């Protein structure tokens, strides 16, 4: 037993190494950086992940994570078995020591206290990480760009930005990720698992962050007010993020994201990625029931509902029309109610959606953003160039001058 914190050990060697952490005595130095000293040889292994020339040859067959040694891999494999399994939540760990530390999260026991702010922690490792908030210490430095980090795990994830390494691959669709947490979130798309449940309305979510945003909606409903208001059009929103998206989509003309294939510009990176699929033909959304794959998530949801009866249709209570997306249903209901909140500042014409208003506003300008790929003729509206291309493909070299004049939306 440790005489400082009363922690128990199965061997004298483990207890001696543990006591070095309390005393601050360091026995081992890193070959890459001799200024950094560590209290046990195991800690020095972490530094090898910083070395550019170190190759991790040992790969986990379960999650794809790679290691420097076979012994380290063997220890990691315990996290995929029931050898060190928490009886409270079922989570598995590499070592009995890690399991013991985790057990404190259930018992609430926190033995280690920060001397600056008195916050307590379940392990010395968490205390050391916390202490760097006060000291500002960032001992883990990227050798490629010079950025420094307080935790080695953050540095490891950062390095994958430079290398493009994505070691965590989905076994269902093959999509790869740079972090295991991202793979875990992605896997719930296939499994349908939604572990984060709202206690007020029983709605469930795949991510804790989404649940947190959802809980704010309940708070807004209780307060009876939408706190975020657009200064341009006085539209109100429940969340600050929703207001920012509204300002970007509706009122901003900035399009910083450029397509590498056709030079078309987009407001968001998400819009650009979706557009690029029209050039590459990529179909990243796969059905788990059959071999079908789709370019857009909405197509997959439609397929699951129509072909496999999976999911829930959203039905209009007035005309019984069915919808896949809640936003489409909301817009549809506005048409029944005759609500047109979006008003053109030039002519006063009203519209149900911001998209319809934006399409209309091109009538008051000479700007034409859609080009025919066959004859290079330009149009104000997408639907106009779509109709034109049908005619142009049947009559190569056509000289239809309807671009701008024959646009449908006015």
DSSP string, 4-44: TT----SSHHHHHHHHHHHHT---EE-SS-TT-EESSHHHH
Report the alpha-carbon distance of residue 145 to residue 161 in Å, rounded: 11
Structure tokens at 211: 């649940």
Structure tokens at 171: 């076994």
Q: Is the pLDDT score of 12 beyond 70?
A: no
- Angle at CA of residue 402, ends 398 and 405, nearest 5°: 170
- SS3 state of residue 372: coil
User: pLDDT by residue (tens digit) across 192-245?
Assistant: 788 888 888 878 888 888 888 788 777 766 666 677 888 877 777 877 888 888
Confidence band, pLDDT 50/70/90 cuts, at residue 37: very low
Q: What is the pLDDT of residue 352?
A: 82
Terminal C-alpha separation, the chain: 82
Do the Cβ atoms of 385 and 368 come closer than 8 Å? Answer: no
Q: What is the pLDDT of residue 104?
A: 79
Q: Is the pLDDT score of 41 beyond 50?
A: no
Structure tokens at 340: 């047109």
User: pLDDT by residue (tens digit) across 132-191?
Assistant: 888 888 888 888 888 888 888 888 888 888 888 888 888 888 888 888 888 888 888 888
DSSP-assigned states of every residue in 267-298: SSHHHHHHHHHHHH----EE-SSSS-EESSHH
Among the listed residues 45, 8, 48, the one whose alpha carbon sits nearest the alpha carbon of residue 32: 48
User: pLDDT by residue (tens digit) across 83-116?
Assistant: 788 887 778 888 888 888 888 777 778 888 888 8
Do the Cβ atoms of 51 and 142 come closer than 8 Å? Answer: no
Q: What is the mean pLDDT of residues 276-289?
A: 86
66-67/112-113 β-pairing: unpaired
Q: What is the mean pLDDT of residues 283-308?
A: 87
Place of tokens 């709605």: 203
Confidence band, pLDDT 50/70/90 cuts, at residue 379: confident
- Angle at CA of residue 193, ends 186 and 213, nearest 5°: 75
Among the listed residues 362, 363, 380, 398, the one whose alpha carbon sits nearest the alpha carbon of residue 389: 398
Q: Is the pLDDT score of 20 beyond 70?
A: no
Q: What is the mean pLDDT of residues 45-69?
A: 62
Q: What is the pLDDT of residue 182?
A: 86
Percent of the chain residues topping a pLDDT of 70: 81
Beta bridge partners of 92: 85
Q: What is the pLDDT of residue 203?
A: 83
Structure tokens at 209: 């962050």
Q: What is the mean pLDDT of residues 268-280?
A: 86
Q: What is the pLDDT of residue 50?
A: 42
- Average pLDDT value over all residues in the chain: 77
Using CA atoms, how far residue 96 sits from 8, 17, 78, 102, in Å, is: 12, 16, 10, 10
């Amino acid at each position: 037993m440790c005489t400082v914190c009363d922690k128990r050990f199965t061997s004298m060697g483990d207890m001696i190494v543990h006591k070095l952490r309390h005393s601050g005595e360091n026995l081992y130095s890193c070959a890459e950086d001799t200024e950094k000293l560590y209290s046990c040889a195991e800690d020095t292994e972490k530094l090898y992940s910083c070395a550019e020339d170190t190759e991790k040859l040992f790969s986990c067959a379960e999650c794809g994570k790679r290691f420097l040694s076979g012994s380290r891999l063997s220890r990691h494999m315990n996290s995929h078995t029931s050898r060190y399994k928490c009886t409270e939540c079922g989570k598995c760990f590499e070592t009995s020591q890690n399991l013991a530390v985790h057990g404190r999260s259930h018992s609430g026991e926190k033995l280690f206290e920060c001397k600056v702010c008195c916050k307590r922690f379940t392990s010395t490792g968490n205390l050391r990480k916390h202490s760097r908030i006060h000291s500002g210490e960032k001992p883990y430095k990227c050798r490629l760009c010079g950025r420094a980090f307080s935790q080695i795990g953050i540095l490891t994830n950062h390095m994958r930005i430079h290398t493009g390494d994505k070691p965590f691959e989905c076994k269902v669709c093959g999509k790869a990720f740079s972090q295991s947490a991202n793979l875990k979130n992605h896997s719930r798309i296939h499994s349908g698992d939604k572990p984060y449940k709202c206690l007020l309305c029983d709605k469930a979510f795949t991510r804790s962050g989404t649940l947190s945003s959802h809980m704010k909606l309940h708070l807004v409903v209780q307060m009876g007010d939408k706190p975020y208001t657009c200064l341009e059009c006085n539209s109100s929103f429940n969340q600050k993020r929703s207001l920012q998206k509204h300002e970007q989509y509706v009122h901003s003309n900035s399009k910083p994201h450029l397509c590498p294939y056709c030079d078309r510009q987009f407001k968001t990176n998400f819009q650009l990625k979706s557009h690029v699929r029209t050039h590459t033909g990529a179909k990243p959304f796969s059905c788990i029931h059959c071999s079908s794959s789709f370019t857009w998530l909405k197509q997959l949801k439609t397929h699951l509902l129509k072909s496999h009866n999976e999911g829930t249709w959203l039905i209009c209570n007035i005309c019984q029309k069915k919808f896949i997306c809640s936003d489409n249903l909301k817009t549809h209901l506005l048409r029944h109610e005759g609500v047109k909140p979006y008003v053109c500042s030039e002519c006063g014409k009203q519209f149900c959606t911001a998209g319809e208003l934006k399409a209309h506003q091109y009538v008051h300008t000479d700007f034409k953003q859609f080009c025919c790929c066959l004859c290079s003729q330009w149009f104000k509206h997408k639907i106009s160039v779509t109709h034109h291309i049908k005619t142009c493909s049947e009559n190569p070299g056509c000289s239809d001058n309807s671009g701008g004049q024959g646009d449908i939306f006015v």
